[in-house]
Structure 1
Amino acid sequence: MSTTTPTTTAPGPSRTAGVPVRAATVLAALAAALALAFVLAPGPVAGSLSGGGHGSRRELQGRLSASFVDYWAAGERSFPAGLRGLVDYWSRYHLVKAVTAGLLLAVLVALGVLLRKAYLRAGGLTAGRRAALASAGAAVTALALFSLAMVMANVQGTVAPFSSLMSMLPLHGPHGVPAGTLDEIRRQLAAYPDGGQSSPPVEVMVSDFGRYHAVLAVAAAVVALSAAAISAVSWRRFAAASDRRTRRVLRSSGLFWALMAAAVAVIAVANTATTADPAPALLAFFEGGW
């Protein structure tokens, strides 16, 4: 009498009808940790790298206002010690945020690819579960786009921290820049560069403001070209695909990335124009319209 020994197989990765649950859970947890770090880490890390933090936002603005007034009164290109410390801190602050946002973007892209593949393999799932996968993919895409925007904005702040810091400059109120100083800055910016001799601080502000927008123009151009390339690949694969679900996903992807490329191209063009002539936009800020 013979007996048959049942064979056993090693358990594979945790899956639910083709959805890699374990990998998706790990990526989601990593994304949550990076999002938390994006909010909490920049201040302490930048403070440790620059020799000390600058307290709350109100305290930072107060020091910025006083340091900026000293800088204007000195009339020199180089920053006084107080303003130099703030600018260095702000550059490191945005560097930490840019790196964290970049890592978050990479994790979200990996999670999005995972969900997309799971959706394309989801023939055995119920309509409700397929809808849940699609919703999760849309949410991850939205978060990835937000992370991309944060990368771009914080690269700006890293490369041109003075202009980024000026956006926090209080122009009114008891701790704001004195009215006489503001009037002089506005007068010089309105005449820049043909209205006579501009002071060194104005030249530095205009130059840095141009750099600030040049960074965004370049970043937006790279994103627009990348989105256009993704759209083109999606449409090429759409033409070759035969599966209905795959074609639907590729069609949506092609349309989405084409619209994304057009929208970001507008940002690139607008910032290129400001880079070519930054003084009017800077004047608009000091007049309260930026």
Structure 2
Amino acid sequence: MRKSLTFLSATLVVAFVVVPGWVAGRGADGSLRPAFVAWWRSGSGALSPELTRIVDHWFRYHVVKGLIAALLLVVLIVLGTRVAGWALVPVVALGSLALVSVMANLQGAVAPFASLFPLLSADDLRGPAAALRAGTRSPALRVMIDDYTAYHAAMVGAAGLVAVALVVAVVVLVRRRAPWPAVAVAALVATGALVLTVANVTTTLDPEPGLLGLLDGGW
């Protein structure tokens, strides 16, 4: 059983890298920047067909990637119940990475448009940044603010749940007398999740300063 779970874990790691782009289909073809600029200049509160196609592509990408990461996490949890001692260290480390990936891809699936903002250049974002700084609230800018808020609200829920789950994991690992690196990894990721939760609560409640920092190149 242990060998089967190890093989399945390795297979899922490969799938995590290869499958999402294949399933999501066409969309990451370099057309984001012109599509975004054209949409912004239109001032519309509805995404253009071209921009919608790109956003839909990344939504599918994040959903598939998140599902594979979640499946990998389940397999690693089961594997972790069947190993002991130093064998727990790589399982906990890979499980922590899978957990973080589930969290990040959930965020991307909830707000796929906002997840694309870091892919845009400073020139692409100059118009939205100037409008936000001037206090102008066009329908297009409102869409950006709303999606950015949803992006961080999703991380509040995901990071909060992860923090709770990892605190429980730390307790379990200590009771099992797991090697200190395994406990340290789980505790470190739990601490990071708590910090991330607090940071994203702040941004969700007051999104505009954070969005302006992103538009100005501070992602």
Distance change >3 Å, CA 255–CA 149, structure 1 → 2: closer
Of the structure 1 ranges 211-220 and 221-230, higher mean CA displacement relative to structure 2 is found in: 221-230
> For residue 118 of structure 2, what is the aligned residue in structure 1?
167
Secondary structure of the residue aligned to 1:41 is helix
Residue deviations 1:205-241 (CA, integer Å, cap 9, x gap)? 0110011011111111111122233445566xx4xxx
After TM superposition, give the deviation of residue 101 of structure 1 in Å. 0.6
Question: 1:32 maps to which residue?
Answer: 10
Of 44, 65, 73, which aligns to 2:22?
44
Distance of 2:115 and 2:186 partners within structure 1: 29
Structure 2 Cα separation of the partners of residues 251 and 145 of structure 1: 15
Aligned position for 2:100: 149
Q: Which amino acid letter does the alignment assign opposite residue 152 of structure 1?
A: M
**What is the alpha-carbon distance in structure 1 between the residues aligned to residue 197 and residue 186 of structure 2?**
16
Residue 178 of structure 2 is aligned to residue 249 of structure 1: yes
Structure 2 match to 1:190: 133
Deviation at 1:93, TM superposition (A): 0.7
Q: Residue type of the partner of 1:227? A: L
Structure 2 match to 1:7: none
Are the counterparts in 2 of residues 189 and 280 from structure 1 also a CA contact under 8 Å?
no
Aligned residue in 2 for 1:227: 166
Query: What is the letter of the counterpart of residue 54 of structure 1?
Result: G
What is the CA distance between 1:202 and its match in structure 2? 0.8
RMSD: 2.2
Helix, strand or coil at the partner of 2:167: helix
* 2:8/2:75 contact within 8 Å kept: yes
Counterpart CA distance in 1 for 2:137 and 2:144 is 11
Corresponding residue for residue 41 of structure 2 = 73
- Give, in whole Å, the separation in 1 of the partners of 2:181 and 2:90: 15
Query: How far apart in 2 are the matches of 1:259 and 1:42?
Result: 28
Q: What is the alpha-carbon distance in structure 2 between the residues aligned to residue 230 and residue 166 of structure 1?
A: 34
- In structure 1, C-alpha distance between the alignment counterparts of 2:101 and 2:48, rounded to whole Å: 30
Find out whether 1:278 has 2:217 as its counterpart.
no
For CA contacts below 8 A with separation 6 or more, give which structure has more relative contact order: 2
| Cα distance in 2 for residues equivalent to 1:45 and 1:65 | 23
Provide the aligned length of Structure 1 versus Structure 2.
Answer: 219
Alpha-carbon distance in structure 2 between the residues aligned to 1:198 and 1:279: 11
| Cα distance, 1:103–1:233 mapped onto 2, change above 3 Å | closer
Question: What residue ranges of structure 1 are gaps of 5+ in the alignment?
Answer: 1-22, 48-52, 120-133, 239-245
* Stretch moving more, 65-74 or 162-171: 162-171
Residues 36-77 of structure 1: CA distance to partner in whole angstroms, max 9, x if unpaired?
111111112111xxxxx135xxx33xx101110111111111
After TM superposition, give the deviation of residue 107 of structure 1 in Å: 1.0
Matches within 5 A, 1:59-138: 59-60=29-30, 63-116=31-84, 119=85, 134=86, 136-138=87-89
Greater Rg, structure 1 or structure 2?
A: 1
* Greater share of helix: 2
* In structure 2, C-alpha distance between the alignment counterparts of 1:233 and 1:33, rounded to whole Å: 27
